Amino acid sequence: MLQTASELVAPNRIILMKNEVYRVPQTHREVQVLSGTAWITLDKKDIILHSSEQASLPFSKNPVLISALNNMPLIMAVW
């Protein structure tokens, strides 16, 4: 079975606490929440992801920002 390019790249694991914001690098297009709830903002649109949910991020010239929603730490993988 052939693997896609995103499957060959090891994800970065990120932990965010309340009031912290992560700016996703332009080269990263996938986000998976491992624990907690993520608030993702992209092109004036908001996406909420809960534990074990994943999203593909469309290409944009604008930065993708992610923060932890609620008081729980957010643990996520991005690649």
pLDDT of residue 8: 56
pLDDT of residue 13: 96
pLDDT of residue 11: 85
Per-residue confidence of the chain (79 residues) as pLDDT tens digits? Answer: 555 554 556 789 999 999 999 999 999 999 999 999 999 999 999 999 999 999 999 999 999 999 999 999 999 999 9
Q: Say whether pTM exceeds 0.95.
A: no
3-state secondary structure 6-54: HHHCCCEEEEECCCCEEEECCCCCEEEEEECEEEEEECCEEEEEECCCE
pLDDT of residue 69: 94
User: Which amino acid does the sequence have at 78?
Assistant: V
Which tokens hold the place of 44?
Answer: 């004036």
